[in-house]
Structure 1
Amino acid sequence: MDDGSREVAEAHYELVISVDARRSGGYDDVDKPRMRARVYRVLEGAFAHARVARDALHMEDRGDGVLVAVTGRVPVTRLLGLWTVEVHEALRDENRSLRVPLGLRVAMHVGPVRHDDRGISGRAVDLACRLADSPVARGLLDTERADLVLVVSDSLHADVVVPGGKFIEPDRWSPAALALKEGEVRAWFHLPGRPAPAIPGPGGGADPAGDGGATAPGGAPGGAGDGGHPGGAPDDAEDLGARDGSPDDAREDHDEDGDGVPGADARYTVHGDMSHHSGNVYRAPVHIGRVTGDADRRKG
């Protein structure tokens, strides 16, 4: 085996970030390039402000999103904390001039990643993509009228969110159980600048008609495409009205197993063609470099 083949065969523990734009199928051929330019402007600007060097990143274009792998030399706390704050601020700044706001779903997971000439692969990559595409992430982005929803794997939550750190607020995350075709996983959801979100229970409409073909319990599969963009066609015109940031309909919390965590008992099914795995636990030394100090409470 030559050195190149040996390198491809080896997996490196890295942070995987999957970024998807909301209802990208609603953009026409003129507006989609503008949307993509905004997404890259937001992400790359945030990496620069968070002092993440370009050579520490692998970025793959996904048409309506971006797949990123960050080397282990960058502390995960910096990405989950400062980088997320910078993404949120940049996204809100972009949306000030838009009649129809750009929304992003960002998912993170740490695990073994393999690189080759065509990109990255591995169960960690699959899981990050699943989480970003989950009906809970889609539902929160729409029902909460949010600019950004962040979702992390259960292992990443336990290792990085729970200990806390600068810009990382453990009490602002809510769990949900996701039924992937490979098995059930637990994920944690966060809306930057807001309290812990209420996770809709079964039948709570967590997957409004959208772009993923995901199925919420008791509901019909989503459309084949991305669906209509909320509020009409994308537009660079000035915002015609203020958004109050609150959902139109009240939601009901569920705590069926009595564990004291509303919404944690909900089950969601996510479909798609990904490689098989049966869990999201990783076992290897990973540099997560907790940042100590009081969290900077930022108001949305």
Structure 2
Amino acid sequence: MDHDAMDLAEARYELVISVDARRSGEYDDVDKQRMRERIYRVLEAAFTHAKVARDAVHMEDRGDGVLLSVAGRIAVTRLLGLWMVEVHENLRDENRGLSVPLGLRVGMHVGPVRHDGRGISGRAVDLACRLADSPLARRLLDAERADLVLVASQSLYEDVVSSGGKFIEPAHYSSARLELKEGEVTAWFHLPGRPAPEIPTAAPAAPDADRADDVDGARDIRDVSGTRDVSDASGVDDTRGVDDAPDVDDVRRVDGEDRADAPRAHYTVHGDMSQHSDNVYQQPVHIGRITGDAGRRKG
């Protein structure tokens, strides 16, 4: 096996950094180019000030963001600490005087990364991108009126952040469960220069203009306080966010009265589900009702 083929077959253990711009779809063509120039100025100046050699950094353009991986010979603490401080300060400088400040979401994870002629790939890359793109990262950036949010993976927090270090404050991170396409994970959220953020529990904010729906992206958090468990003897339980399960509308009542404008909840139904119109059932009922001839009215 030649050297190039060996490089493709072997994964390198690296820090993956995914950087996304907030509401990039709202920029016109001219402003989007300026936005991209600002992102690169912020990131490249941070690498210079953190004394991270450019040959240690792989960088891919993503249109409205940048995907990076940093060689294992560079201490991860330098990226989580000094580099993030420099990114934050550079971003603040760029945003001075801007009517619409640039906002960045940064996802980080350490894991095996494969390089080829077109870029990088691997589960570590996928996870870093999912973290940066998660609905909670978007919501937190807006809720806190911040310019920068860092989302670290559980393993990165446990292995590096929790031990602290120069410019690394474990107490300034807050955790939340995220339901991603690949499954449920724990992520740690940090707003540089601020105390640990309060994880928002309200309904999700309106999606970005460049993301009308979230079919392939990360799902929202599941462990939000206020999520209800409505399991009962009928076999209906509240498991919102399950894509493949049928769902039925919640009975929306306020103070004993039906409210058509009340929020709608979704439920997963175990067993067969009947169809009905105006309380007239069109087939046997399997949820807490008698089925077949026994359920018909006499006379």
Query: What is the TM-score with the length of structure 2 in the denominator?
Result: 0.71
Match of 1:45 in 2: 45
How many Å separate the matches in 2 of 1:97 and 1:53? Answer: 31
3-state SS of the aligned residue for 1:58? strand
Is 2:99 aligned against 1:99? yes
User: How big is the shift at 1:193?
Assistant: 1.1
2:122 alignment partner in structure 1? 122
On the 8 A contact 2:179/2:220 being kept in 1, the answer is no
Q: Distance in 1 between matches of 2:155 and 2:10?
A: 22
CA distance in 1, matches of 2:78, 2:196: 21
Q: Please report how far the alpha carbon of residue 269 of structure 1 lies from its aligned counterpart in structure 2 after TM superposition.
A: 6.3
Supply the AA of the counterpart residue of 1:208.
A
Which of these two proteins has the greater Rg computed from alpha carbons? 2
Distance 2:221 2:174 in 1: 19
Taking the aligned partners of 2:119 and 2:176, their CA distance within structure 1 comes to: 30
Could you say what the CA RMSD is over the residues aligned between the two structures, in angstroms? 2.3
Could you say which residue in structure 2 is the equivalent of 1:90?
A: 90
1:254 and 2:252 matched: no
Q: Deviations over 1:121-147 (max 9, x none)?
A: 000000000000001100011111101
Q: Secondary structure at the match of 1:66?
A: strand
Q: Distance in 1 between matches of 2:158 and 2:142?
A: 27
Q: Distance in 1 between matches of 2:221 and 2:4?
A: 46
Q: Which moved more, 1:209-218 or 1:187-196?
A: 209-218
Question: What is the CA-CA distance between 1:208 and the residue it aligns to?
Answer: 3.0
Whole-Å separation in 2 of the counterparts to 1:157 and 1:105:
17
Aligned residue number for residue 289 of structure 2: none
The 1:77–1:88 alpha-carbon spacing in structure 2 relative to 1, beyond 3 Å, is same
Identity of aligned residues (%): 71
**Corresponding residue for residue 163 of structure 1:** 163
Partner AA of 1:124 in structure 2: A
Point out where structure 2 has 5 or more consecutive residues left out of the alignment: 228-238, 244-299
Q: TM-score, normalised by structure 1?
A: 0.71
Q: Distance in 1 between matches of 2:127 and 2:72?
A: 18
Does structure 2 retain, via aligned residues, the 8 Å contact 1:207–1:216? no
Query: How many residues are aligned here?
Result: 226
Residue 63 of structure 2 corresponds to 63
| Alpha-carbon separation, structure 1, partners of 2:40 and 2:240 | 30
Structure showing greater relative contact order (alpha-carbon pairs closer than 8 Å, 6 or more residues apart): 1
Matching residue's letter, 1:254: S
Q: Can you give the 5+ residue segments of structure 1 that lack an aligned partner in the other structure?
A: 219-252, 257-266, 272-300
How far residue 2 of structure 1 moved from its aligned partner, in angstroms, is 2.4
Give me the whole-angstrom Cα distance separating, in 2, the residues matched to 1:185 and 1:126.
Answer: 13
For 1:214-225, what aligned pairs fall within 5 Å after superposition?
A: 214=214, 216=220
CA contact (8 A) 1:154 1:188 kept: yes
Q: Tell me, what secondary structure is at the counterpart of 2:63?
A: coil
